[in-house]
Structure 1
Amino acid sequence: MTHDDLEYSPYVAGLGLSNGHLQSILPSLARRISVPFERQRLELDDGDFLLVDELAVETPDAPLVIISHGLEGNSHRAYVQGMARHFHDAGWHVYAWNFRSCGGEMNRLPRFYHSGAIDDLRAVIRSGIERGFKHIFLVGFSMGGNQTVLTLAEPDLEAEVIGGVGFSVPLDLAACADQLAKPAQSIYMRRFLNDLRVKIADKAERFPNLISLDGYDQIRTFRQFDDRYTAPLHGFRDAQDYWQRCSSRAVLNRLQRPTLVVNALNDPFLADACFQRPSDASAHFLLETPPRGGHCGFIRWRLNQPLWSEKRARAFAQALLSDRV
């Protein structure tokens, strides 16, 4: 299959919606979508659990889409629900899984989640295969997009996985951390750190010998947060080691299935490295860099109708599915 074989219509921003910050913020504030998810608890081999929201179809042999949200997101964010609705309307079974600690219930272990925690996504994939799904497509947003790309590069990737798409993917974690540390991005940085503070406080209370909240209010950047919490809790030397080992840009030459990444050039979260195709990238790697779109935005004025990103993901998935069946 070549790029020309895929159904494709370039994204055009709605009138007055070309600003990257507006495109990033407006959907989370104004989009109103609710789908009838049914929640399942997936027990993990290490004693922890994941909360997976499911949108079922009755069609035998329906394909499965697995949706991964972004940093401090969850399955009830509008971008997840919109994607779930669009795929479900086309006859796809949907899993929208929540990272550890993100589904409204704190996970059991001291660890929580990070950009390279693909063991959990692999567990969700295996649960779908155990249910009998023969064709599985992955969709990821932001951090979930990074996990999606990493997973699609795994040498032992399950044969049932036909490919995937990531939107607003921080392919180079170090460069994106530096981008978000800039004063122009302070509104996002403060929000992330405030949300994460609640979780660190909970874990500090339950695991006082491992985690402390002391001095948290002095943290201003992801480098400081990841140095103090993410790296030691998840087996990395420091933030730099974590970013280097978990950046999906490093695996683009090893992709096992067709992988589409869509990164808008005006995304305030992403650095220049996220818009460049490495010279050694796999033929499976497709990169689209529309001039507009913001971070997980890609909106026009009819916010509650299917977004361009949802149509793009489903078109790509349907093309891959057609090649399989």
Structure 2
Amino acid sequence: MRERQQEADFTPPRGLSNPHVQTLLPRCLPRPRLARDVESLELPDGDFVELNWIRPSPTSSTAPILVLFHGLEGSFHSPYARWLLATASRMGWRAVLMHFRGCGSQPNRLPRAYHSGDTADAYWLTAELSRRYPGALKVAAGVSLGGNMLLKLVAEQGGSGLDLAGAIIVSAPLDLAASADTLHQGFSRVYERHLLKALKRKVAPRLVRGELPLSLNGEALERIDSLRGYDDAVTAPLHGFKGADDYYRRASAGRLLGDIELPTLILHADDDPFMPAALFQRLPQPSAAVHLEITHHGGHVGFMEWRNKRLSPWLARRLARELEGWASLGDSWRSITDHRLSRSDS
């Protein structure tokens, strides 16, 4: 069994170790070109999410599946999404990204959006994948907000509630309150302003059309200058929370680290500018099912390294190694999963 915590094998290029450089570099580099099929997956409440299936897809119905959940206001076009999906596809995996509600090509139908603790849609998707591909090994990966959501889902469902062999969590804000406070300080406010602009751009037209049950007008929305303020005025009331503090407390997955039963890899940079330093010292001890890899550098979903005489995403290389490990199990993964499920039921 692997050690529960170790230093990751990521080394930033000389002169490019600054956390903000690492965070911003991926946006400056070419992204893999990927063909995709877009599917609208209907949800039980009458809304929908968009699925992005990478082409060409494997012909075998038992080909392994990677399902990816993006970050706050992320999408199929995010650099990390392209790299991770391309990596899985090249390895013969069936790769799919789920756009959270309203993050795809069309606005969602209902008077709500998505948030860091909203696990219902991901649970519905995993059940649908299980129905369509019952014999396929399935691994889920979540990045940033999607990572917090995925870890919370895994904790909620225990060892027997999901048809997943494992989970991969990348740069997840597992303490949402601490992350909101960190993003409101120093240079990190650049990221906060960028996220706020994207969130406001999406919600403003819906406020004008009267589609959202919020006591908020356009002028009040424009005056919001922090993510905590936005979550207090929009995210929390829109999704049944008493306020930002209630939302952060109930949606943060870090408090559930000791409850994880599914094999889970967590990748985190100690200098992530979206989170306080030494994040995992603030959180409960992870369970034995969690393997935590922490880098000294890497920024927020950065992890750019110098390899083969060019800048390359270490995340893609690390994902490939993890997927190779799962694929090498072959048919034995089912017996391992069955053993885990029977142990959970006992």
**TM-score higher than 0.5:** yes
Residues 241 and 131 of structure 1: is their aligned pair in 2 closer, same or farther, counting only changes over 3 Å?
Answer: same
Aligned-residue offset at 1:119: 0.6
Of 159, 162, 167, which aligns to 1:164? 167
Question: Which residue number corresponds to residue 85 of structure 1?
Answer: 86
Question: Which residue number corresponds to residue 43 of structure 1?
Answer: 42
How far apart, CA to CA, are the structure 1 residues paired with 2:251 and 2:73?
A: 18
Of 299, 315, 320, which aligns to 2:321? 315
How far apart, CA to CA, are the structure 2 residues paired with 1:306 and 1:125?
A: 31
Residues 184 and 107 of structure 1: is their aligned pair in 2 closer, same or farther, counting only changes over 3 Å?
Answer: same
How far apart, CA to CA, are the structure 1 residues paired with 2:99 and 2:42?
A: 13
Aligned-residue offset at 1:9: 6.3
Match of 1:83, as an amino acid?
L
Q: Is 1:110 equivalent to 2:128 in the alignment?
A: no
Residues 9 and 292 of structure 1: is their aligned pair in 2 closer, same or farther, counting only changes over 3 Å?
Answer: closer
Residues 273 and 11 of structure 1: is their aligned pair in 2 closer, same or farther, counting only changes over 3 Å?
Answer: closer
Match of 1:86, as an amino acid?
T
Residues 304 and 238 of structure 1: is their aligned pair in 2 closer, same or farther, counting only changes over 3 Å?
Answer: farther
SS, match of residue 305 in structure 2: coil
Does the Cα contact within 8 Å between 2:206 and 2:212 map onto a contact in 1?
no
Residues 159 and 176 of structure 1: is their aligned pair in 2 closer, same or farther, counting only changes over 3 Å?
Answer: closer
How far apart, CA to CA, are the structure 2 residues paired with 1:279 and 1:247?
A: 12
How far apart, CA to CA, are the structure 1 residues paired with 2:148 and 2:212?
A: 31
Aligned-residue offset at 1:201: 0.9
Q: Is 1:203 equivalent to 2:219 in the alignment?
A: no
Does the Cα contact within 8 Å between 1:31 and 1:304 map onto a contact in 2?
no
Q: Gaps (5+ residues) in structure 2?
A: 335-346
Match of 1:252, as an amino acid?
L
Does the Cα contact within 8 Å between 1:172 and 1:273 map onto a contact in 2?
no
Match of 1:93, as an amino acid?
R
**Root-mean-square deviation (CA), in Å?**
2.2
Question: Which residue number corresponds to residue 300 of structure 1?
Answer: 305
Does the Cα contact within 8 Å between 1:32 and 1:304 map onto a contact in 2?
no
Aligned-residue offset at 1:59: 3.2
Mapping of residues 87-236 of structure 1, within 5 Å: 87-133=88-134, 134-155=136-157, 157-207=160-210, 210-211=213-214, 212-236=217-241
Match of 1:201, as an amino acid?
A
Question: Which residue number corresponds to residue 29 of structure 2?
Answer: 30
Aligned-residue offset at 1:217: 2.1
Greater alpha carbon shift after TM alignment, 38-47 vs 299-308:
299-308
- 1:47-83 residue CA offsets vs partner (Å, 9 max, x unmatched): 1000000022123411111101110111121210110
Match of 2:176, as an amino acid?
L
Aligned-residue offset at 1:259: 1.2
Match of 1:282, as an amino acid?
S
SS, match of residue 137 in structure 1: strand
Does the Cα contact within 8 Å between 1:116 and 1:146 map onto a contact in 2?
yes
Match of 1:25, as an amino acid?
L
- 1:300-325 residue CA offsets vs partner (Å, 9 max, x unmatched): 25698862112212322332452615
Does the Cα contact within 8 Å between 1:37 and 1:53 map onto a contact in 2?
yes
Q: Is 1:272 equivalent to 2:277 in the alignment?
A: yes
Of 261, 281, 289, which aligns to 1:284? 289
Aligned-residue offset at 1:219: 1.0
- 1:110-145 residue CA offsets vs partner (Å, 9 max, x unmatched): 111100011111122112112114321111110011
How far apart, CA to CA, are the structure 2 residues paired with 1:309 and 1:164?
A: 15
SS, match of residue 37 in structure 1: strand
Q: TM-score, normalised by structure 2?
A: 0.87
Q: Is 1:15 equivalent to 2:14 in the alignment?
A: yes
How far apart, CA to CA, are the structure 1 residues paired with 2:100 and 2:211?
A: 23
Residue identity over aligned pairs, in percent, reads 34
How far apart, CA to CA, are the structure 2 residues paired with 1:206 and 1:46?
A: 22
Greater alpha carbon shift after TM alignment, 108-117 vs 293-302:
293-302
Does the Cα contact within 8 Å between 2:8 and 2:295 map onto a contact in 1?
no
Residues 83 and 263 of structure 1: is their aligned pair in 2 closer, same or farther, counting only changes over 3 Å?
Answer: same
Question: Which residue number corresponds to residue 242 of structure 1?
Answer: 247
SS, match of residue 295 in structure 1: coil
- 1:16-41 residue CA offsets vs partner (Å, 9 max, x unmatched): 21111011112123232221111111
How far apart, CA to CA, are the structure 1 residues paired with 2:284 and 2:146?
A: 24
- 1:127-170 residue CA offsets vs partner (Å, 9 max, x unmatched): 21121143211111100110111111123554520111111111
Aligned-residue offset at 1:279: 4.9
Match of 1:197, as an amino acid?
K
Mapping of residues 56-75 of structure 1, within 5 Å: 56-75=57-76
Residues 58 and 276 of structure 1: is their aligned pair in 2 closer, same or farther, counting only changes over 3 Å?
Answer: farther
Residues 197 and 132 of structure 1: is their aligned pair in 2 closer, same or farther, counting only changes over 3 Å?
Answer: same
Does the Cα contact within 8 Å between 1:263 and 1:274 map onto a contact in 2?
no
Q: Gaps (5+ residues) in structure 1?
A: none
